[in-house]
Amino acid sequence: MQENNNRNLWILGVSIFLGLSALGFLLSQAAITFKEYERTVTVKGLAEEEHLADIVIWPIQFSEASNQLQDIYTSLEGSTEKVKTFLKNHGISDEEISVGTPYVTDKSAQRYGGPSDAEFRYVANQTVTVYSENVTDVRDVMNQLSELGKQGVTLSGDEYQVRTEYLFTRLNEIKPQMIEAATKEARAVAEKFAEDSNSQLGKIKTAYQGQFSISPRDNNNPHIKNVRVVSTVVYYLSD
């Protein structure tokens, strides 16, 4: 009876030992597999395209000066009509033209910074703005702006105040193709990395779409926009 109990205990001990050994082996293999599965490479893909702006905002500012307030408003009205006629004669429609509120300065009312012997008491600025989707046509009209000077319109304003703006509003139309191009470039970089490291490129672990940026191609061509996006992709690697 004692001998049978000892044999049963020995068999139980061996079984436990073998079970723990098998469990340890399986856990070690799982840890190795998990570690290999977590090998990754992070790459970036760049996509860039050039597009013509689809909206132009062109402010035309001019000024008048006089010692009589009534005369200065009359002069502004005359110059405004000349500007509008000039624009319409060059194919710009009424719907694309807007007239801003005149800004009149009374030199005698200025307490600081104004010379006491100014030739004219009143100086006024007026802005006529063109808002159009016909970017190329409007740019052609800009090159003929000197015609207004010949008609007696005094163009004014510094570069910041009357800066022409060019907008690109079709970003949603080109987003899919640019994201695809950025992702393809990122994969090409990852494949090269895997090849150089004697690894196999696996599936995507995570991917991040970068923020799109729109900027002028250069200072001389603000109407041509450079659209850019960088995508970041993390791939798994395996031997």
Q: How many angstroms separate the CA atoms of 86 and 92, rounded?
A: 9
Q: Could you say which of 116, 148, 166 is where a domain stops?
A: 166
Task: Clarify whether residues 66 and 136 are in a common domain.
Answer: yes
Residue 5 — very low, low, confident or very high, per pLDDT cuts 50/70/90? low
Task: Clarify whether residues 121 and 153 are in a common domain.
Answer: yes
Q: State the DSSP string of 48-81.
A: EEEEE-SEEEEEEEEEEEESSHHHHHHHHHHHHH
Which among 53, 47, 59 is positioned nearest to 169, based on CA atoms?
53
Averaged pLDDT for residues 65-93: 93
Task: Clarify whether residues 32 and 115 are in a common domain.
Answer: no
Question: CATH number, domain at 184?
Answer: 3.30.110.170
Of 76-80, 103-107, 150-154, 221-225, which range is least confident? 103-107
For 71, the domain range is 55-166
Q: Are the C-beta atoms of 106 and 121 separated by less than 8 Å?
A: yes
Task: Clarify whether residues 76 and 149 are in a common domain.
Answer: yes
Q: State the DSSP string of 191-235.
A: HHHHHHTT-EEEEEEEEEEPPPEEEESSTT-TTEEEEEEEEEEEE
Per residue in 145-194, pLDDT tens?
Answer: 999 989 999 898 665 667 899 999 999 999 999 999 999 999 999 999 88
Token duo for residue 56 = 């132009």
Question: CATH number, domain at 65?
Answer: 3.30.70.2970
Which among 96, 100, 37 is positioned nearest to 239, based on CA atoms?
37
What letter does residue 155 receive in the DSSP assignment?
B
Which is more confidently placed, 31 or 97?
A: 97
Task: Please give the C-alpha separations between residue 144 and each of 14, 87, 138, in angstroms, as whole numbers.
Answer: 100, 10, 10
Task: Clarify whether residues 137 and 69 are in a common domain.
Answer: yes
Averaged pLDDT for residues 20-45: 58
Q: How many angstroms separate the CA atoms of 43 and 232, rounded?
A: 6
What total number of domains does the chain contain?
Answer: 3
Residue 173, H or E segment: helix 171-196
Task: Clarify whether residues 1 and 83 are in a common domain.
Answer: no
Task: Clarify whether residues 91 and 147 are in a common domain.
Answer: yes
pTM: 0.75
- Mean per-residue pLDDT over the chain, rounded: 83
Q: Could you say which of 147, 166, 185 is where a domain stops?
A: 166
Task: Clarify whether residues 235 and 198 are in a common domain.
Answer: yes
pLDDT at residue 32, rounded to an integer: 43
Task: Clarify whether residues 11 and 49 are in a common domain.
Answer: no
Q: Could you say which of 166, 181, 204 is where a domain stops?
A: 166
Per residue in 173-185, pLDDT tens?
Answer: 999 999 999 999 9
Which is more confidently placed, 85 or 208?
A: 85
Task: Clarify whether residues 64 and 30 are in a common domain.
Answer: no
Which among 144, 133, 131 is positioned nearest to 90, based on CA atoms?
144
Token duo for residue 195 = 């090849």
Report the percent of the chain where pLDDT is more than 70.
78
